[in-house]
Amino acid sequence: MKKQEDSEKIIIHLNNVEKHYFMGDNVVKAVDGISIDIKRGDFVAVMGPSGSGKSTAMNLIGSLDMPTRGHIFLDKEDISLLDESELAQVRGKNIGFIFQQFNLISTLTVRENVILPMTLQGIPEYEREEKADKILNRLDLRDREDHYPNQISGGQQQRVAIARALANDPEVILADEPTGNLDTKTGLKVMDFLTDLNKEGRTIVFVTHSPELAKKYAHTIYWLKDGKIEKITKERKKE
Amino acid sequence: MNYFVLAYRNLKKKGIRSYLTLLGICIGILAIVSLITLGNGLKTAVSSQFGVSSTELISVQASGGNFGPPGTDTVNPLTSYDLEEIKKLSSVKEAVERIIVSGKLEFNNKVIFGYAMNIPDGDDRDFVYNQIEAKTTTGRLLKDGDSGKVFLGYNFYVDKVGIGKPILPGNTVKIQDKSFEVVGILEKKGSFIMDNMAFMNEKDLQSLFNHGDEFNLIAVLPTDKENMERAKEDIEKLLRRIRNVKIGSEDFTVSTPEASLAQVNSILNAIQIFVILVASISIFIGAIGIINTMTTSVLERKKEIGIMKAIGATNNQIFMQFFVESGILGLIGGGIGIFLGVLIGYFGVVGINDFIGGDILPKINFFLIFFSLLGSFLIGAIAGILPAMKAAKQNPVEALRG
């Protein structure tokens, strides 16, 4: 009985997943047989030096990439069985991405960037606009909504990226080195915001190479090395 | 926000290089639109020229036999004997010689070169006046026995012949250095030939140009308008006999107005086919230009494609974005082409009018514009299919790496 409760709590499950890349005749195992269970509402950090496979693991968790071997379950659905379009729909609905490079669409305004994921899900216009108002207010971006990404600061751009990630109200937020391109103060603000989102019940997974950051914010830390999980640590947080 | 907004934003960002590739489509569409507009105007113009010289007349002209090397042909001219024999045919109601000679005319101390036409005496005079619907806008027509007198086409009256001053009845002009009194001006015919012609009695023309017993043309009115073809065959048979030539080696041509019109139209059609061919090649090159631009664009925007996929864009949505963008690219090229084409066609027809003195109104064909726009969008979109497929198939992780 207890076991079933546990499995219901698990939102993302990687079962002995491998990801191989081909460099000429050589096969590089970027991820070499990892199993991860991410519980609903968890705050997870994927830690490791560069080349440890943490970004690849992140792409697999976010269903952005397909594993060479093994299975990935999102909400108990085996996403390795989906075709590309179904996968895109799953991503758009359930997962919000935040990147180190912000990755906003440069030809669209702040507001349009936030609306875009909703458009891709076919959400009606009035609903999109209403939602955009709400999210932009929350991230304090209303006065910048008609600016283009290159007209605002890095911190603001990352807030737009967070706003975009929240557009479809996803259960999971994936952040790939979200503070990597920001100064310390701005970076901490972004992490605080992720903490708020986690407190709302959202599952947060972030990649970092900074142990301090991981220890400060994450509840669960996966330490990766050479494509394998070296250890898993739990951090106790004051509530 | 939809595909058109996204496409518009991306096109706004594109450099001049991308728009230069639109030249092909632009020129192709321009050629087609201006040609069709001009061609229709030209056809109307040509038809109206024929209309003036009457659609009821068969014309007989002497032409070189097809013997010997080119240039050695001697034209066996039509003579009064041919004319008299034609008149005797039962299928012929009336026939009259027409002599048109070129020469110089002097007035206001200026000399121009143009054409003079004979007006025969007697019953033939009325016949000719009838056929060319001769009415004067001022002054009078020529009568039997008038000597040293001419009447002129309308363009002399409004000075469209380049003499610097309108010619009025009572003025004296010099034709081939001999003085003639102008007795009248014809009404405007809308025909380049008729409006620029000087008309004089046959004796005057004979003494000026000394053309002897030779005609350029014999105009024949058949007994039965419905039986033009029979009259034509009768004349051919007769002339073969009296001029002693075999079928296939005639030294004359007998043409009905329909046939002449058909001939002109077939020349116009040939020109149209040629231009459409050139336009097609141009559009084809334009389409390749668009393929090239879009392929480059897919490479340049690899990262954007990756982002779009990460935030939930399906392959189909990516495809549509590039497909629509490519179509709009074609539409822009086509739109510019249509605008310039209509402009050229419009002023071309105005120009033709001015030149031949016609009254054709340039028509803007909205069907043509609509289908050209649709066509250029489709050409662009079709050219975008391959690049759009390439964009759609990008692997999101690789694309995100840029």
- The residue among B108, B104, B103 whose CA lies nearest residue B163 is B108
| Weakest-pLDDT range from B139-143, B295-299, B365-369 | B365-369
pLDDT at residue B360, as a whole number = 66
* Contact yes or no for B339/B364 (Cβ under 8 A): no
Instruction: Say yes or no to pLDDT of A2 above 50.
Output: no
Provide the pLDDT for residue B11: 77
pLDDT at B353 over 80: no
Per-residue pLDDT at B327: 92
Going edge to edge, which strands form the sheet with B92-98? Answer: B92-98, B217-222, B58-62, B252-255
Cβ atoms of B154 and B187 closer than 8 Å: yes
- The pLDDT value recorded for residue B356 is 63
pTM of the model: 0.71
CB contact under 8 A, B1 and A112: yes
CA distance A176 to B130: 94
B205 and B118 Cβ atoms separated by less than 8 Å: yes
What kind of architecture, by CATH, is found in domain B100-210?
Answer: Beta Barrel (2.40)
Closest CA to A127 of A135, B41, B265: A135
Of the candidates A175, A172, A168, the one whose C-alpha atom is nearest the C-alpha of residue A191 is A175
Strand partners, A13: A37, A73
**Structure-model confidence comparison of residues B4 and A83, the more confident one:** A83
- Looking at 1.10.287.110, 3.40.50.880, 3.40.47.10, 3.40.50.300, the CATH number of the domain A41-66+83-234 comes to 3.40.50.300
> Distance between CA A34 and CA A70 in Å, rounded?
9
Domain layout of chain A by residue ranges? 41-66+83-234
Mean pLDDT of B367-372: 88
Domain with CATH 2.40.70 in chain B: 100-210
**Closest approach of chain A CAs to the CA of B312, in angstroms?**
4
Q: Which residues of B touch A117 (CB under 8 A)?
A: 311-312
* A62: nearest CA partner in chain B: B310
Task: Outline where chain A has alpha helix (H).
Answer: 2-9, 54-61, 84-94, 110-120, 125-138, 154-166, 184-199, 211-217
Residue B1 above 60 pLDDT? no
Lowest average pLDDT, out of A112-121, B43-52, B158-167, goes to: B43-52
Using DSSP's 3-state secondary structure scheme, residue B89 falls into coil
Whether the Cβ atoms of residue B182 and residue B170 lie closer than 8 Å to each other: yes
Structural element, H or E, at residue B111: strand B110-119
- Number of neighbouring beta carbons within 10 Å of residue B71: 6
**pLDDT greater than 80 at residue B363:** no
Whole-number pLDDT of residue A7? 55
Question: Does any CB of chain B come closer than 8 Å to the CB of residue A117?
Answer: yes
Q: So what's the pLDDT on residue B68?
A: 46
pLDDT at B137 over 80: yes
| Chain A hits for B316, Cβ within 8 Å | 85
Structure tokens of B15?
A: 């450099």
Lowest mean pLDDT among A115-124, B330-339, B343-352: B343-352
Q: What is the pLDDT of residue B46?
A: 67
Question: Which residues of A fall within a CB distance of 8 Å from B309?
Answer: 64, 88, 91
Sign of CA dihedral A50, A56, A57, A58: positive
Is residue B52 predicted with pLDDT exceeding 50?
no
- Contact (CB<8Å) A107/B13: yes
Interchain CB contact of A210 with B (< 8 Å): no
Q: What is the dihedral of CA A62, A174, B301, B312, to 10 degrees?
A: 60
Q: What is the pLDDT of residues B283-292, one digit of tens each?
A: 888 899 889 8
Say if residue B77's pLDDT is above 90: no
Chain A residues with CB-CB distance to B18 below 8 A:
none
In this prediction, residues B70-89 reach a mean pLDDT of 77
Q: Do A84 and B315 touch (CB under 8 A)?
A: yes
- Say how many residues make up chain A: 239
Residue-wise pLDDT tens digits, B184-221: 998 887 777 788 889 999 888 888 888 778 887 888 88
Banded model confidence at residue B50, pLDDT cuts 50, 70, 90: low
Q: Give the pLDDT band (50/70/90) at residue A219.
A: very high
Would you state the pLDDT for residue A144? 92
What whole-number distance in Å separates Cα of residue B226 and Cα of residue A123? 72
Question: Could you tell me which residues are beta bridge partners of residue A47?
Answer: A208, A223
Q: At what angle do helices B315-356 and A84-94 cross, to 10 degrees?
A: 100
End-to-end CA distance of chain B: 25
Residue B222 confidence (pLDDT): 87
pLDDT digits (tens, 9 = 90+) for A19-28: 998 888 888 8
pLDDT at B51: 47
Question: How many C-beta atoms lie closer than 10 Å to residue A237's C-beta?
Answer: 12
Quick: pLDDT tens for A169-205. Answer: 999 999 999 998 889 899 999 999 999 999 999 999 9
Scanning A138-197 for CB atoms below 8 A from B yields: 164, 167-168
Q: What angle do CA A146, A152, A153 make, to 5 degrees?
A: 155
* Minimum-distance CB partner of B310 among A64, A119, A168: A64
The sign of the torsion formed by the CA atoms of B28, B33, B38, B44 equals positive
Give the rounded percent of residues in chain B with a pLDDT score beyond 90: 18
Q: Give pLDDT, residue B64.
A: 60
Q: What is the mean pLDDT of chain B?
A: 84
| Phi (first) and psi of residue A148, to 5 degrees | -90, 155
Chain A with chain B: Cβ pairs closer than 8 A: 72
Q: What angle do CA A112, A115, A117 make, to 5 degrees?
A: 120
Q: Are B115 and B101 in contact (CB under 8 A)?
A: yes
C-alpha–C-alpha distance, residues B75 and B63, integer Å: 6
Integer-rounded Cα Rg, in Å, for chain A is: 18
CB contact under 8 A, A103 and B10: no
Residue B72 has pLDDT above 70, yes or no: no
pLDDT in tens, B218-242: 888 888 777 788 888 889 899 888 8
Beta-carbon neighbour count of residue A11 at 10 Å? 20
